[in-house]
Amino acid sequence: MARLLRALLLLSVWLALRLRLLGYWALVYGYCALCACTALLRLGWNILLRPSTTFRWTVRETPPACLSDTSLGTHCYVRIKESGLRFHYVAAGERGKPLMLFLHGFPEFWFSWRHQLREFKSEFRVVAVDMRGYGESDLPPSTECYRLDYLVTDVKDIVEYLGYNRCFLVGHDWGGIIAWLFAIYYPEMVTKLVVLNSPHPCVVADYALRHPSQMLKSSYFFFFQLPRFPELMLSINDFKALKSLFTSRSTGIGRKGRWLTTEELEAYLYALSQPGALTAALNYFRNVFSFLPLSVSEVRSPVLLLWGEQDTFLEQDMAEACRLYIRNHFRLNIISGASHWLQQDQPDIVNTLIWTFLKEGEGRKNYRT
């Protein structure tokens, strides 16, 4: 009798887990369908208003001059033997100084760290990477090539290629997610972790499922699961959606800080307009639902989390929820008036807060690793 009851209990637990999983995927695909319908309506409206320009966009052939600014550092390339991929990065500061590695988000590339490259090169070997699928790094064609475990391994390979076994790791948006994961799986390689507007991966799923308002703000995650259609919607009217993402009053850079110049905006359009670039960037999202739940979630490195108060895409309560997963010193700074792109629209404040965090517990002379 006891065995029968135990078997029934195990069966009920298994069924509950299966039903929960089924409900989860039903929610994901249902929301994908809803987002697709909304995008179709928007596309139809665009065609009615601008029939002659809707399907016109220009591939930028020549990089703007700001991408060759020597004050930002030297352009370098590395081919990783294990993956076979070539990565592009911009490096500044003396070789042999502690490594500070910057990981960008969507839809950015190394250039989003221009203010930090100038700031920290005095004390660090600063390196801003074009992550796989972005900028001048290789763009693997398969969606499978953008699994999170591959992206995390890329960071390890790059750190080791640069001749280091530890680094100060800084990540924003998608780069922040990868930075969190790298600190979880390779804690011995992260001296200190700085994350900007990117919650711990466990918070991403748990919080969104319990807060419908965040689910709505994350609707683009679901829309980007669709093949080809998101690329079309981001390209129409000469990449109008991308321009708006960086410049509009609701989502743009610099509502209370530094606006993007025309040349800086063209730098982003140059990178994203190249053949295959949008698909590669969106493939990050197309693997996002495959990595949860994490088998390990604790972060043992000291963590600084910077959060733009006016982030359109992420609710501020997600930042505080990250505290649950950190087993070391944790500092959270909410930056008033800053957008999701806070390292670009509030660079002076961001840089000052990073310096303060780096000094905590050790002087600058002790940064060497």
**What percentage of residues in the chain have a pLDDT greater than 90?**
67
Whether 140 has a pLDDT exceeding 60, the answer reads: yes
What pLDDT, on a 0 to 100 scale, did the predictor assign at position 218? 85
Whether 362 has a pLDDT exceeding 80, the answer reads: no
Band of residue 365 on the pLDDT scale cut at 50, 70, 90: very low
What pLDDT, on a 0 to 100 scale, did the predictor assign at position 368? 37
What is the pairing mode between strands 86-92 and 125-129? antiparallel
Q: To 5 degrees, how large is the angle CA 147–CA 199–CA 122?
A: 90
* Nearest C-alpha neighbor of 100 from the set 192, 176, 178: 192
**What percentage of residues in the chain have a pLDDT greater than 70?**
87
What pLDDT, on a 0 to 100 scale, did the predictor assign at position 28? 63
Residues 268-304 have pLDDT tens digits of 999 999 999 999 999 999 988 776 667 778 999 999 9
Band of residue 331 on the pLDDT scale cut at 50, 70, 90: very high
Mean per-residue pLDDT, 169-194: 97
Residues 103-128 have pLDDT tens digits of 999 999 999 999 999 999 999 999 99
What pLDDT, on a 0 to 100 scale, did the predictor assign at position 44? 79
What pLDDT, on a 0 to 100 scale, did the predictor assign at position 369? 35
Band of residue 210 on the pLDDT scale cut at 50, 70, 90: confident
Mean of per-residue pLDDT scores for the chain:
89
Q: To 5 degrees, how large is the angle CA 158–CA 160–CA 164?
A: 115
How many whole angstroms separate alpha carbon 84 and alpha carbon 158?
Answer: 12
Q: Distance from CA of residue 31 to its chain's centroid?
A: 22
What pLDDT, on a 0 to 100 scale, did the predictor assign at position 302? 97
Q: How far is CA 218 from CA 44, 166, 214, 333, in A?
A: 23, 33, 6, 23
Q: In angstroms, how far is the first alpha carbon of the chain from the final one?
A: 61
The torsion angles phi and psi of 78, rounded to 5 degrees, stand at -140, 135
Exposure class string for 252-266: b at 16+ Cβ within 10 A, else e: bbbbebeebeeebbb
What pLDDT, on a 0 to 100 scale, did the predictor assign at position 292? 64
Question: Which domains occur in the chain, in start order?
Answer: 65-200+285-359 (3.40.50.1820)
Residues 23-46 have pLDDT tens digits of 655 666 676 677 778 777 777 777
CB contact at 8 A, 190 and 167: yes
How many whole angstroms separate alpha carbon 158 and alpha carbon 130?
Answer: 11
Band of residue 229 on the pLDDT scale cut at 50, 70, 90: very high
Residues 333-349 have pLDDT tens digits of 999 989 999 999 999 99
Band of residue 366 on the pLDDT scale cut at 50, 70, 90: very low
